[in-house]
Amino acid sequence: MTTLETVSEQRCFDGVQGFYKHPSTACGGEMTFAVYRPPQALSGARRPVVTWLAGLTCTPETFTIKAGAQRVAAQLGLILVMPDTSPRGAGIAGEDDSYDFGSAAGFYLDATQEPWSRNYNMETYVTRELAEIVAANFPIDAEAQGIFGHSMGGHGALTLHLRHPERYRSVSAFAPVSAPMQCPWGQKAFRNYLGEDRDAWRQHDASELVRARPSDARMLIDQGRQDQFLEEQLKPEIFEAACKEAGQPYELRMHDGYDHSYYFVQTFIEDHLRHHAAALGA
């Protein structure tokens, strides 16, 4: 059994916001994550759980502090899980050289290329190792799990849902990197983590995945029209076309005046939490 250490716990909207750390086999070192338990879970009652995947440069604190999600999660009885965005301090040369690759930029996949494959196994970490730790230590309903995220984390939410629909019954995203094979962020990450095999890249590109294996879940995606990364990095129109081609249920909402920041996330976070609560029967 993995040893779970409590870093801190605070009362929040009659629930508990906690931060935790543990040794990780998948990532070869210590990992940290956050969990919000709503008041309904404090008696031990099993509740639906939604995992949030954050974007480039973020930590487990980013969403926890900036999104304003706990108030609504408390009302709906949703447990929230916030993992880190990558291993930290793995000792790999170059891991801290740029904001869009390495530390805080794990892209929620398992690297196949040395030296990254030793530590950068975020798909296994999120979908297996962390999921097992959360199930063993918190009162989750294992049959009612969802996933959502922002930017790089939106990419992760879409791809991990499509790759693991049996685990994540609901999915949504804010400003996701939805066609990473066709944008600089994705190309840089895929080339370094996965090598030059573009077939391997396709297995982690939401637009390619949805064409090959659409899910039954209705995807909710919010995107700001004033997002500075919209045209070069995010490309929601490619993902929308793929959803239409595959018959994937989805709703893409484009919002005038909104950018890529957590002010945008705050504005629509309640809609996303209610989307997951309805899908998971909260």
Length of the chain: 282
Q: Decide if 260 is catalytic.
A: yes
Radius of gyration of the chain (CA): 17
Q: Decide if 222 is catalytic.
A: no
Catalytic residue among 260, 272, 275, 276: 260
Alpha-carbon torsion (205, 210, 214, 220), positive or negative: positive
Quote the CA–CA distance of 33 and 53 in Å, as a whole number.
11
DSSP code per residue over 163-231: H-TTT--EEEEES----GGGSHHHHHHHHHHH-S-HHHHHTT-HHHHHHHS--SSPEEEEEETT-TTII
Q: Decide if 155 is catalytic.
A: no
Q: Give burial (CB, 10 Å; 0-12/13-18/19+) of 175.
A: buried
Catalytic residue among 227, 272, 275, 276: 227
Q: Give burial (CB, 10 Å; 0-12/13-18/19+) of 61.
A: middle
Catalytic residue among 86, 103, 151, 170: 151
- The set of catalytic residues is 151, 227, 260
